[in-house]
Amino acid sequence: MTWDVLNIIGTIAFALSGAFVAIEEKYDLLGIYVLGLVTAFGGGVIRNLLIGVPVTTLWEQELLLKLALLAMTIVFLLPASLLSSWKRLLIFFDAIGLAAFAVQGALHAKAMNLPISAIMIAAMLTGIGGGIIRDILAGRKPLVLREETYAIWAILAGFLIGIEVVNSSNSLHLYLLALLVICLRLLAVKYNWRLPRRSFS
Amino acid sequence: MTWDVLNIIGTIAFALSGAFVAIEEKYDLLGIYVLGLVTAFGGGVIRNLLIGVPVTTLWEQELLLKLALLAMTIVFLLPASLLSSWKRLLIFFDAIGLAAFAVQGALHAKAMNLPISAIMIAAMLTGIGGGIIRDILAGRKPLVLREETYAIWAILAGFLIGIEVVNSSNSLHLYLLALLVICLRLLAVKYNWRLPRRSFS
Amino acid sequence: MTWDVLNIIGTIAFALSGAFVAIEEKYDLLGIYVLGLVTAFGGGVIRNLLIGVPVTTLWEQELLLKLALLAMTIVFLLPASLLSSWKRLLIFFDAIGLAAFAVQGALHAKAMNLPISAIMIAAMLTGIGGGIIRDILAGRKPLVLREETYAIWAILAGFLIGIEVVNSSNSLHLYLLALLVICLRLLAVKYNWRLPRRSFS
């Protein structure tokens, strides 16, 4: 139940992040819907492809699809003055989405009896795959590969589920893990954490 | 029979649109073939992935593959003076491709007993998916997300098949639907129809 | 046995080419790993999708995955002065990767009883698919579509296996084919071979 709520919040937040990027790129209404949908559902599709879950499970998520379309339509109709304050709130919702998606991605891979490396990659792809497709469709370099610790927390969730520190059949464990991911993500934004980088010179 | 003809015209038109983009981007012969092929076949591949049809059906389309390669080779060898007049004709052929591909995409999704939302998305993806991959491989922002009503007619075809206003086992119905999509597309080009857009300021 | 060695060299070379592109684009550590992994494994995933081999075979390649991660970590830690000399060596290793990947791609398609066109495309996709995804994730136009004869040698390998000039169950044949691809690739780099191109003007 609570899990569904996290998932709904995450899906809407991801869809809105796609819609905002599309608006920034001056895409039209169709572009807004397409970018929103790929951000919300693209990560899960790539993960399912790679871990062998049928991609058609996508079509069983009609409620999420409708909520995402509804949220994007509301944003499209809102006055510009309201949009900017929404964008700040989005960072918080987006952290919930990252947590919900990463944990679910890891659980899917775990259920397929895949090795830890696959569980970590599945958690990461579910968390960041949609955002990467969004940025590519917007003609941008994927933000998550450049400037954020974003993906690390998804990988961490996969790792903790993979080594069974987090018991994947214990709801309380999973909620605490999601909460941990949310907190780490928000701390990373607040204190501007960065990953190391190299240069050739 | 007539349907096969529409499909052949559409495939060649899509392949040529990919070839022209590759030439504009100064890609070499291989780049021309690759962009042409992904434009002609990429939308169908993505659709099949998402609705659960085996992607390997691609290899049963050898005739289409050969015709696409032949058409691109001819364009590559034609003198430049002829190319520019071809490009105008291409808008007409491309509208046929959009119609043929959208209707087929919708029929595939309908045959898998998917919900209306999936039928609309399948029609859209078959119609615009190849063009989106083409633009990304060319380093461009996908045209269809920015400046065109292009995708709307594909979605409309999916909607009309999904709600069964168009009977998907009645050839006449399907031809009329394809004709409707072609006309709407050409009217949209002629009168420069646009979708609404938002801005933050 | 020898084949495994070629495959390992190729995987590491492809991973490092991804890591170098990520460093050039100032991506962070995560971006380096992601670009390296998609370059090394992306071509095989696309090929498997298109020819109907389960994509999940990816997770049986844990040794390759670990070697790729190890190699990228070493590059990340090396002083800049060493990196530039490594980059030259990489052209040689990369030719080995192209040969190993193209031959394997063709063998996979041949084992699925696909037509020659599919075998050629499978060889090409395995050889260049990872590099194309790498360039797109780096916000670049795919190098292989613009300036190189790179893909031609992969297609040639697929053709020779497809028409059975090369006997796909004879190891000696396959090694000679791989050697041929490596030599042609290195000659193409040395003498700066180019494919023909068109322009509109």
- For residue B110, the model assigns a pLDDT of 93
The phi, psi pair for B197, rounded to 5°, reads -140, 160
Residues above pLDDT 90, as percent of chain A: 51
* Assigned domain for A23 exists: yes
The phi, psi pair for A114, rounded to 5°, reads -85, 160
The tokens 């998932």 sit on which residue?
A7
Q: Please check whether residue B50 is in contact with residue B125, taking contact to mean a CB–CB distance below 8 angstroms.
A: yes
Lowest mean pLDDT among A90-94, B94-98, B177-181: A90-94
* Residue among C30, C35, C45 whose CB faces A195 most closely: C30
- For residue C106, the model assigns a pLDDT of 94
Q: How many residues does chain C have?
A: 201
Give Cα A115 to chain centroid, integer Å: 22
Residues above pLDDT 90, as percent of chain B: 51
**Is residue A1 over pLDDT 70?**
no
* Assigned domain for B131 exists: yes
Cβ contacts of C200 within 8 Å, gap of 6 or more: B23, B24, B80, B83, B84
The pair of structure tokens assigned to B129 is 């998916």
Contact C24 A200 (CB under 8 A): yes
CA-to-CA dists, residue B18 to A10, B6, B68, B85, angstroms: 36, 18, 11, 16
Contact C32 A198 (CB under 8 A): yes
Q: Residue A49 belongs to what domain range?
A: 2-191
CA-CA-CA-CA torsion for C34, C36, C40, C41, nearest 10 degrees? 0
CA atoms within 13 A on the CB side of A160: 21
Which chains does B contact via 3+ CB–CB distances below 8 A? A, C
- Looking at per-residue pLDDT, the higher value among B199 and A14 belongs to A14
* Assigned domain for B199 exists: no
Contact C194 B27 (CB under 8 A): no
| Closest residue, chain A, to B51 (C-alpha) | A56
* Assigned domain for A200 exists: no
Rounded Cα distance, C161 and C107, in Å: 8
Nearest one of B125, B152, B142, B159 to B44, comparing CA atoms? B125
Q: Please check whether residue C106 is in contact with residue C178, taking contact to mean a CB–CB distance below 8 angstroms.
A: no
Assembly ipTM: 0.88
- Looking at per-residue pLDDT, the higher value among B1 and A7 belongs to A7
* Residue among A76, A80, A139 whose CB faces B141 most closely: A139
**Is residue C2 over pLDDT 80?**
no
A interface mutation test: which of C27, C53, C70, C141 has the most A CBs within 10 A?
C27
- For residue B80, the model assigns a pLDDT of 75
What is the arithmetic mean of pLDDT over B150-177?
A: 91
**Is residue A64 over pLDDT 80?**
yes
CA-to-CA dists, residue C109 to B62, C52, C121, C124, angstroms: 15, 9, 9, 11
State whether residue C83 is helix, strand or coil: helix
Rounded Cα distance, B97 and B131, in Å: 11
Report, in angstroms and rounded to the nearest whole number, the Rg of chain C calculated over CA atoms.
16
Rounded Cα distance, B103 and B119, in Å: 10
Kindly report the CA angle at A186 between A180 and A187, in degrees rounded to 5? 85
Nearest CA-CA distance, residue A166 and chain B, Å: 32
Overall domain count for chain C? 1
Contact A65 B114 (CB under 8 A): no
**Is residue A7 over pLDDT 90?**
no
Nearest CA-CA distance, residue A82 and chain C, Å: 32
What is the arithmetic mean of pLDDT over B116-143?
A: 92
B interface mutation test: which of A21, A23, A28, A132 has the most B CBs within 10 A?
A28
Which chains does C contact via 3+ CB–CB distances below 8 A? A, B
What rounded mean pLDDT belongs to chain A?
Answer: 88
Lowest mean pLDDT among A138-142, B16-20, C23-27, C77-81: C77-81
Lowest mean pLDDT among A41-50, A85-94, C157-166: A85-94
What rounded mean pLDDT belongs to chain C?
Answer: 88
- For residue B1, the model assigns a pLDDT of 53
Give Cα C29 to chain centroid, integer Å: 22
Q: How many residues does chain B have?
A: 201
Contact B137 C142 (CB under 8 A): yes
- For residue A167, the model assigns a pLDDT of 87
**Is residue C20 over pLDDT 60?**
yes
A1: number of Cβ within 10 Å: 5
| Closest residue, chain A, to B147 (C-alpha) | A28
Where residue B2 falls among pLDDT bands split at 50, 70, 90? Answer: low
The phi, psi pair for A28, rounded to 5°, reads -85, -175
Which chains does A contact via 3+ CB–CB distances below 8 A? B, C
Rounded Cα distance, C105 and C102, in Å: 5
Give Cα A187 to chain centroid, integer Å: 17
Rounded Cα distance, A178 and B71, in Å: 54
What rounded mean pLDDT belongs to chain B?
Answer: 88
- For residue A192, the model assigns a pLDDT of 86
In this predicted model, what pLDDT tens digit does every residue of A113-139 receive, in sequence order? 998 989 999 999 999 999 999 999 999
**Is residue C147 over pLDDT 80?**
no
What is the arithmetic mean of pLDDT over A168-189?
A: 90
- For residue B197, the model assigns a pLDDT of 79
In this predicted model, what pLDDT tens digit does every residue of C150-199 receive, in sequence order? 899 999 999 999 999 888 888 889 999 999 999 999 999 888 888 887 77
Give the single-character DSSP code of B185: H
Contact B115 A25 (CB under 8 A): no
- For residue C128, the model assigns a pLDDT of 92
Kindly report the CA angle at B135 between C30 and C136, in degrees rounded to 5? 20
**Is residue B40 over pLDDT 70?**
yes
Rounded Cα distance, B120 and B47, in Å: 11
What is the arithmetic mean of pLDDT over A152-179?
A: 91
Cβ contacts of B82 within 8 Å, gap of 6 or more: none
